[in-house]
Structure 1
Amino acid sequence: MIQPISITSIASISAIGSSQNEIWENYLLNNHFLSEKEVNGMPVFVGQLSEENQQKITELRKSDAKYRSLDDAVLFAIFVSREAVKSSNWESESNFGVNFGSSRGATTLFEKYHKEFLETQKSSTLSSPTTTLGNISSWVSHDLQTFGPEISHSITCSTALHSLLNGVAWINSGMSNKFLVGGSEAALTDFTIAQMQALKVYAKQNSSLNSNCHSELVEEFPCKSFDLNKKQNTMVLGEGASAICLEKGIVENSLATISGIGFATEVLQHNTSISTDAKCFQKSMKMALGETALDEIDAIVMHAPGTIKGDQSEVNAIQKVFGEKTPFLTTNKWKIGHTFGSSGMLSLELGLLMLQYQQVIEVPFAVKQIHPKKIKNILINAVGFGGNAVSVLLTKS
């Protein structure tokens, strides 16, 4: 059992927007926010920031001479951390902890500096300090002028929710009463996308022509996350970041409480494999549920990356755990792409919004489901390479 921990604010930036009102309004739309970008001379689908939000990051970069040499992954993290802390009224605090993670880290700068090295056999002075993993949390802490612990880590696509786990652990230990946790990803680079294409998981331009979905809208969607009838993988890489503020106990301005956490790994058959019934998810969900009755869970925001095996294995795991009491299922990757290390927190944001507005968000091309009459408990799932699954149970305050 964990002691009650409140989420007092959340902030994000992604293809779907950067303000909570804008993000919710865009979730209510049936269209996606993916676009095309030229990568290695070929057009590919990506979930990139809007021009307006790109400008916000540009302004942040120009606001401080020290920030001009930072990777977008770091700037994304600074941007959402400022917004989250402001919303929680932590401006005067100086002792909260920071745990920010990323799957790929400073991808743009790393590729840039490595290319320069291959061409000149020399390395830039800033190549090391601007590409280290700890670069993210340390700059967030610097920007916020906090004196609490600062932690960075990378656990592939479950990174952001592992940040949450760590924040919960620090608060439960009594070593901290407040923690800022999140994930950031800015990996829409040639090499990163080429890696995903090499794994044969990336969406192709004609992916919409190879599906037996139940909607006439199907041809409009490059990523078929939670389409269990797709004939090929349709993962689309996105960029973005999200941060939440955690506080000990149930506080007055709580958006929701974390009433359960779960985590698990499984024995791998391959570097990127997951079992057909995602045993890691079964374990993490059961751990997060604890003594909560199955029929008390109103919805699950799935990881569902848009791959054939990834989507199906998670659904299989959910059915193994819940049986006939399977809650409403949804995901956001068809809208914004798979944002790797920040994806779990962006899924959690969707869960918080559904709790706040008491409305579930459908995947328009998925099989129709019965909507819950009320929404009190939502389970959030994330998993990364290596079978590192995390489940978080959110309860309406």
Structure 2
Amino acid sequence: MELKRVVVTGLGAITPLGKTLTETWEGLVNGKSGAGPITHFDASKFKTQFACEVKNFDPTQYFDRKEARKLDRYAQFALIAADEAIADSGMEIEKLDLNKVGVIFSSGIGGITTFQEEVENYDAERGPRFNPFFIPKMIADIASGHISMKYGFRGPNFAVVSACASSTNAIADAFNYIRLGKANAIVTGGAEASITSAGVGGFSSMNAISTRNDSPETASRPFSASRDGFVMGEGAACLVLEEMEHALARGAKIYCEVAGTGMSADAYHLTATHPDGLGAKLVMRNALEDAEMNPEDIDYINVHGTSTPVGDISEVKAIKEVFGEHAKKLNISSTKSMTGHLLGATGALEAAACILAIKEGIVPPTINFAEGDEDPEIDYTLNYTFNKAQKREINAALSNTFGFGGHNASMIVKKFVK
């Protein structure tokens, strides 16, 4: 069976850097930090009192009040990003075979805001009085359901949950369904809204997140010796993936081609990456093999790069082993230094960053690195695109995402040539 080619025809996002993909991209290229004091709840007694929140978000600007009350914040983000991506794709819904258009949309945690509110409001003495929308608002697959119901898409529809690798796995599944001929187009990506007292408190208790309360904007500092954990982020990103001939037949704008994806497991630790990057090496090699590409074909890697003490080192080790001498010719950057870590949505957002990097010929930076803050365990002969975006032609880019539980997912996008 000959596999079909898959292209990207639409993009959308709502992030700590902006409420549209364009605003987000401008923030990335300009090295803008989305971090600031937490406003969602009183964090004054928490070890970490800051995060990368979506700023000045009012759901009634997008939904009527009745609809907004039925949607958890993460699902609101998902619908907003999907609306932008579908509009960007130029798809005319009435002309599509809706049986062949699917939605595979992920979340690492789902509706934690709804879950926390319902449990906090539970009164044991009065008896169980829960909101009838409690479960439909909370579950991690409901964003995918809402997108399909809004547009009438009846193709493959489900959610992928693999912690911080979730949305890269969702994109990989969408890619595979299309190239196997199971769908003509799939709306895919991820959404997360976990900046709650439970979310922040849970990650804080694990010592996973930065405590740099005196300087939130510089707290996410991948590849720096003084890094002390990731910064929580929220938002959503969405891609419209489409079978190439289907896209060409309708005259679609094509951003790039999805070349291949890879998956692996560390099989090592509940939360930590393997210190030698075994799973990271395997997943990148799997992606290259799937794409039928050589390491030398890659120009840019958007790394997982969360700013954790162990994770950054192991990823660099993996890149050096997989790419050899070519590693020194790559541009490498961690856009999490600006957006924070969007958990289950991060893969989709970083895939979009790779796609725009190819389109615009510019690599967004890794911000917050200072001279004198070098880690002796990190090789600085590699180009981490520190502090300032760099222009270069990018023919192919790779995006890495690694999740708690040892889940690893990578994807490669490349310039589209018919």
TM-score, normalization by structure 1: 0.90
CA distance in 1, matches of 2:308, 2:116: 27
1:350 aligned residue: 353
Residue 183 (1) aligns with residue 190 (2): yes
CA contact (8 A) 2:105 2:160 kept: yes
Greater Cα shift, 367-376 or 91-100: 367-376
CA contact (8 A) 2:17 2:32 kept: no
Structure 1 residue ranges (4+ consecutive) displaced by more than 6 angstroms after TM superposition: none
CA distance in 1, matches of 2:351, 2:280: 16
CA distance in 2, matches of 1:24, 1:130: 30
CA distance in 2, matches of 1:162, 1:312: 23
CA distance in 2, matches of 1:341, 1:266: 18
1:244 aligned residue: 239
CA contact (8 A) 2:222 2:306 kept: yes
Q: For the aligned residues, what is the CA RMSD?
A: 2.1
Specify the code of the residue in structure 2 equivalent to 1:103: G
CA pair 372-298 structure 1, distance change in 2 beyond 3 A: farther
CA pair 296-372 structure 1, distance change in 2 beyond 3 A: farther
1:257 aligned residue: 257
Identity %: 24
Alpha-carbon offset, residue 2 of structure 1: 5.4
CA distance in 2, matches of 1:59, 1:347: 26
Residue 224 (1) aligns with residue 231 (2): no
CA contact (8 A) 1:15 1:48 kept: yes
Q: Residues 1-397 of structure 1 correspond to what in structure 2 (within 5 A)?
A: 3-37=4-38, 38-39=42-43, 41-42=45-46, 44-51=49-56, 54-55=57-58, 57-62=59-64, 65-90=66-91, 91-92=93-94, 93=96, 94-95=98-99, 96-117=101-122, 120-124=126-130, 125-205=132-212, 221-227=218-224, 229-230=225-226, 232-249=227-244, 251=248, 252-268=252-268, 270-290=269-289, 291-326=292-327, 327-366=330-369, 369=383, 373-397=392-416
CA distance in 1, matches of 2:266, 2:206: 20
Specify the code of the residue in structure 2 equivalent to 1:105: G
Alpha-carbon offset, residue 136 of structure 1: 1.6
Alpha-carbon offset, residue 225 of structure 1: 2.2
Specify the code of the residue in structure 2 equivalent to 1:273: A
Specify the code of the residue in structure 1 equivalent to 2:334: T
CA pair 206-377 structure 1, distance change in 2 beyond 3 A: same
What SS is found at the alignment partner of 1:182? Answer: strand
CA contact (8 A) 2:52 2:231 kept: yes
CA distance in 1, matches of 2:368, 2:299: 21
CA distance in 1, matches of 2:414, 2:3: 13
CA distance in 1, matches of 2:81, 2:300: 26
CA pair 128-362 structure 1, distance change in 2 beyond 3 A: closer
What SS is found at the alignment partner of 2:25? Answer: helix
Q: Which runs of 5+ in 2 are unaligned?
A: 370-379
CA pair 121-156 structure 1, distance change in 2 beyond 3 A: farther
What SS is found at the alignment partner of 1:355? Answer: helix
1:334-357 Cα distance to aligned partner (Å, 9 max, x none)? 111101000001111111111111
CA distance in 1, matches of 2:392, 2:30: 21
Specify the code of the residue in structure 1 equivalent to 2:354: G
What SS is found at the alignment partner of 1:292? Answer: coil
Greater Cα shift, 288-297 or 39-48: 39-48
Specify the code of the residue in structure 2 equivalent to 1:389: N
CA pair 84-69 structure 1, distance change in 2 beyond 3 A: same
CA pair 220-155 structure 1, distance change in 2 beyond 3 A: closer
CA pair 144-41 structure 1, distance change in 2 beyond 3 A: farther
CA distance in 2, matches of 1:276, 1:123: 48
CA contact (8 A) 1:298 1:372 kept: no
CA pair 130-31 structure 1, distance change in 2 beyond 3 A: closer
Alpha-carbon offset, residue 72 of structure 1: 0.6
CA contact (8 A) 1:262 1:285 kept: yes
Q: Which runs of 5+ in 1 are unaligned?
A: 209-218
